[in-house]
Amino acid sequence: MNCFYHTDKPAIGICKHCQRGLCADCAAIIDDVLACQHRHEDAVHMQEQLTARNLFQSKRVSSAYTRNAIFYGLVGILFAWFGYIQYRFIGIQAIFFMLIGLFLLYAATANYFESRKHK
Ligand SMILES: [Zn+2]
Ligand SMILES: [Zn+2]
C-alpha cells in the first residue's frame, strides 16, 4: 500500500479517521495513533478523547457497583444476623429482618455481577 497523498511513497500506517494510507511525511501521531497531518489531526484527537472517556466512565461505573455490593452485603449480613439472634426474643418479627437481610444480600450479588460486566 502507498501513501494516499503521495502515490509514489510507501505507507507506514493508516489514518484512524479516514483509513487512508500515510507515508512518513503525511502521518501525524496523535495520542499514539496515526492521523493525516493537518487534515484529520483534530478529528482523531477527539475520537481518542471520547474512547478514553468511555473507558474511564465504565471503570467508574464498575467501582460504584462494587461499592454498592460491599455496602449491601455488609448491611444484609447485619440484618440477617440481627434477625437470627432476635428470633428467640421477638419470634416471627425476626423473620422480617432476616428477609431484609436476604434481600440485601441478593442486591449485593446482583451489583457484584454488574460490576464484573463493566470491567
Ligand atoms: Zn485522515
Ligand atoms: Zn504522504
- 3 Cα–ligand 2 center, Å: 5
Residue 106 belongs to what domain range? 57-117
Q: What is the mean pLDDT of residues 81-105?
A: 90
Contacts of 100 (CB under 8 A, 6+ apart): 76, 79, 83
- Is residue 44 situated within a structural domain? no
**20 occurs within a structural domain:** no
Residue 85 is assigned to a structural domain of this protein = yes
Amino acid 119: pLDDT:
63
- Domain annotation covers residue 35: no
pLDDT of residue 36: 96
38: Cβ contacts below 8 Å, ≥ 6 apart: 28
Domain count, the chain: 1
Q: Rounded to two decimals, what is the model's pTM? A: 0.54
Residue 90 has pLDDT above 90, yes or no: no
Q: Which of 57, 63, 102, 58 is nearest to 79 (CA)?
A: 102
Ligand nearest, relative to CA of residue 37: 1
Beta strand spans in the chain (E): 13-14, 21-22, 27-30, 33-36
Helices (H) and strands (E) in the chain, counts: 2, 4
% of the chain residues with pLDDT over 70: 98
Ligand 1 centroid–CA 53 distance in Å is 22
Cα of 18 from ligand 1 centre, angstroms: 4
Q: How far is the CA of 47 from the centre of ligand 1 (A)?
A: 12
Grid cell, residue 12, equals 507506514
- Identify which ligand lies nearest to the alpha carbon of 38: 1
In a domain, residue 26? The reply is no
Taking all residues of the chain, what is their mean pLDDT, rounded to a whole number? 91
Query: Which residues are found with C-beta within 5 Å of the ion, ligand 1?
Result: 15, 17-18, 36, 40
Give the model confidence (pLDDT) of 54-64 as tens digits.
Answer: 887 888 888 88
Residue 105 lies in a domain: yes
Q: Is residue 2 part of a domain?
A: no
**What distance in angstroms lies between residue 58's CA and the mean position of ligand 1's atoms?**
28
Q: What is the mean pLDDT of residues 61-68?
A: 88
